[in-house]
Chains A and B, each alone.
Chain A
Amino acid sequence: MDFAGYDPAGGRPGRGIVSAKIVVAGGFGVGKTTLVGAISEITPLTTEALMTAAGVGIDDPSKVPGKETTTVAMDFGRITMAQDLILYLFGTPGQTRFWFMWDEIIRGAVGAAVLVDTRRITDAFAPLDYFENRNLPYVVALNRFDGAPQYEAEEVREALAISSQVPLVMTDARHRDSVKQVLVTVVEHAMLRLQSEHGRGFPTPVG
């Protein structure tokens, strides 16, 4: 199945299966994997990249003798939307010391959802700063855990110091419809941003 770009002769450039990706960020335990799993057609997969203990991305461990290398995992899911269109969802490792992974993950991304747990709101600061900095369209998704303090959306917006332009939605990462709504919000926001930047004569962001 799924073989819009199928090329029996092989080797020639593909007839174009296009893929897009949305990034899911947030602190440890905030529900990233749960969110991806709620909507992905495959059980979330994990891939690993090597890095030094210092957190610098490296390709060749032998170039840093004596430095301990470790791996950083990111998980992701997939939604096949059409024969020639696949959407991937990438969960980022939460810690900012994994910058190099984030750079790789956001390159070309449609946009991002930053998951926030009201019990640990400060965990969202790093991803928010990062996306702000990279000019990646993002939305904030408040994941309401049972027993967590229930703040008003405006209180959270203020605590996170996010502008009124940034959409803020409530979600339950375990529920497909709720997750779908978060992703729809990301894409709509990205389209609006693109449109307004285009209107103001900005070059199209390269991601």
Chain B
Amino acid sequence: MDQRRVDPRGALVRPYAVTRGRTEPRQDIALEAVLTASPTQVAESRFAGHDKHRIATVCEGRAQSLAEIAAYTRMPLGVARVLVADMVTESLLTLHTAAPAEGFEERMELLGRVLSGLRRL
């Protein structure tokens, strides 16, 4: 299974085989939404199958976005999204909020933090 997904031909393999054909995620997760896995979650993910365990391992010790998870595991984005959404439901990953889209104050505060973060670089 894994062997096939690191195949450089990538998407020529049947990518949704690992999701058992399911293409709709249980919840919509933004590209940049970050996820973390605690050591406990990583350990539990062993029982959830090879692909989910790989995802949990990627998120151990460092918060990773959905986009990063897809890139590091070499899964197409859609596949990674289905698996990640499952894992959030199963408490194998912790989902952190993406940028708050609503509320003027919150949005301004976030932009202000990003701005000063950039200036500090």
Contacts and interface: CB of A to CB of B under 8 A. Distances in A.
Interface of A: 1-3, 5-14, 16-21, 39, 45-50, 59-62, 69-71, 76, 78-79, 81-82, 85-88, 90, 104-105, 107-108, 110, 176, 180, 183-184, 187-188, 190-191, 194-195, 198, 204-207
Contacts of B33: 19
Given A5-B94, A14-B36, A71-B11, A86 B63 contact: yes
B94 A194 contact: no
Contacts of B36: 3, 5-7, 14, 17
Interface residues of B, number: 58
Contact of B11 (A10, A69, A88): A69
B40 A10 contact: yes
| Secondary structure class of chain A's binding surface, majority of residues | mixed
Interface of B: 10-11, 15-16, 21, 23-24, 30-34, 36-41, 44, 61-63, 65, 67-68, 70-72, 76-78, 80, 91-92, 94-104, 107-108, 110-115, 117-121
22 contacts: A2-B62, A2-B63, A3-B62, A7-B36, A17-B63, A17-B96, A18-B96, A20-B32, A21-B32, A49-B76, A50-B15, A50-B76, A50-B78, A79-B121, A82-B113, A88-B32, A108-B30, A190-B111, A191-B111, A194-B108, A204-B101, A204-B103
Contacts of A20: 32, 99, 110-111, 114
A195 B111 CA distance: 11
Which interface residue of B37, B71, B78 has the most chain A CB atoms within 10 A? B71
A59 B97 CA distance: 24
A69 B76 CA distance: 13
Contact of B117 (A9, A11, A85, A108): A85
Contacts of A180: 118, 121
Contacts of B31: 21, 88, 90, 104-105, 107
Contact of B30 (A49, A61, A107): A107
A5 B94 CA distance: 9
Contact of B70 (A2, A7, A47, A69): A47
Given A21-B32, A71-B76, A16 B96 contact: yes
A194 B105 CA distance: 10
B70 to A, nearest CB: 4
A71 B38 contact: no
A59 B24 contact: yes
Given A5-B63, A19-B34, 20 more contacts: A3-B61, A6-B38, A7-B36, A10-B92, A10-B94, A18-B98, A19-B99, A20-B110, A20-B111, A21-B99, A47-B70, A50-B78, A81-B114, A81-B120, A82-B117, A110-B99, A110-B114, A184-B115, A198-B104, A204-B107
